[in-house]
Amino acid sequence: MIVVTGGAGFIGSAVVWKLNLSGRNDIIIVDELGSESKWKNLNGLSFEDFYHKEDFINYIISDSVPFETEAIIHLGACSSTTEKDADYLMDNNVHYSQELAKYALENDARFIYASSAATYGDGSKGYDDDESRLEELRPLNMYGYSKHLFDLWVKRNGLLDKIVGLKYFNVYGPNEYHKGDMRSVVHKAYQQIMSEGKVKLFKSYHPEYKDGEQKRDFVYVKDAVDMTLFFLENRHKNGIYNIGTGKAETWIELVTAIFKALGKPVNIEFIDMPENIRDKYQYFTQANLKKIRSVGYKNEIMNVEEGVKDYVQNYLMKKEYLAL
């Protein structure tokens, strides 16, 4: 079985979709559905069974998982960059991951986990997935710190040559609809355009960046999934890798692509950024992809215009999910 934690979530359900397309349905979903609409991400996908995340970790700890595990793709986490409960993040994002990693290694199962570009903090140390410099990084929020702590635990325990950590940059695309405030700007902007005819973007509070010219590495979920599954197919490729496009683009370029996909004129209003996030805001992110390219990942990666066009025209406008 291939276990996908967070399998009902955004990237997790997209991984299941891509596995299905490749002919795999021997998949176990581990997640917590709650009362939101996340369950809709599973509607139209094929998998063997679903386990609540608490039930599954109990099976892991008691060494009583009722199936043979080929791989664990660990994408489940609290991904809110504004989460304030540090103890919850430690349990959910760090300790849970440690137990899964230990189980996978003890049972010769492939272990691939989600780290985050949030571990890079303000970017002053660069965006190179250089494991020798992990200790230099200073995340700006507790979410990023929780991901960084697990990366450090992996390194400290000599596991970098046995498992794979993936630092996802700004992922957008279908199946993110349930994420509330943590949805991508593409989804939020689409809704604003459809209801108001304009997009609201945060003003810049950094002298080096004009309003709307803050830059991020926006990566389409289909590409993020393709890079993720490259490591399932290549078990001997291990370590920590960036998952992005390798090209930072501005917020203005991003929303312009949305207007273009909709055939509408560009209309942007700049608004004040909430004070509580101003000192934690990343003004620039750009994945260095030399490492993932060096281990054999050859596929072309969509730019913002290409990814946004597919997302808007084939999913948002049609109200579609990733499904078979």
**Residue numbers annotated as active site:** 143, 179
CA distance 174 to 77: 19
To the question of whether residue 38 is assigned a binding role by annotation, the answer is yes
To the question of whether residue 188 is assigned a binding role by annotation, the answer is yes
Residue 228: how many CB atoms within 10 A of its CB?
A: 23
Please state, in angstroms and as integers, the Cα–Cα distance from residue 63 to each residue in 56, 228, 250, following that order: 10, 27, 48
To the question of whether residue 10 is assigned a binding role by annotation, the answer is yes
Burial class (CB in 10 A: 0-12, 13-18, 19+), 117: buried
To the question of whether residue 181 is assigned a binding role by annotation, the answer is yes
To the question of whether residue 87 is assigned a binding role by annotation, the answer is no
To the question of whether residue 30 is assigned a binding role by annotation, the answer is no
CA distance 201 to 215: 13
CA distance 146 to 98: 12
To the question of whether residue 72 is assigned a binding role by annotation, the answer is no
Residue 34: how many CB atoms within 10 A of its CB?
A: 10
To the question of whether residue 202 is assigned a binding role by annotation, the answer is yes
Using only C-alpha atoms, what is the Rg of the chain? Answer: 19
**DSSP code for 92:** I
CA distance 283 to 86: 24
To the question of whether residue 24 is assigned a binding role by annotation, the answer is no
CA distance 48 to 56: 15
To the question of whether residue 53 is assigned a binding role by annotation, the answer is yes
To the question of whether residue 154 is assigned a binding role by annotation, the answer is no
To the question of whether residue 204 is assigned a binding role by annotation, the answer is yes
To the question of whether residue 291 is assigned a binding role by annotation, the answer is no
* Residue that the structure tokens 């700007």 belong to: 185
To the question of whether residue 11 is assigned a binding role by annotation, the answer is yes
Find residue 111's DSSP bridge partners: 72
Contacts of 134 (CB under 8 A, 6+ apart): 148, 151, 152, 155, 240
Residues that constitute the known binding site: 10-11, 31-32, 38, 53, 75-79, 92, 147, 170-171, 179, 181, 188, 202-205, 216, 281
Residues that constitute the known binding site for substrate: 170, 181, 188, 202-205, 216, 281
Residues that constitute the known binding site for NADP(+): 10-11, 31-32, 38, 53, 75-79, 92, 147, 171, 179
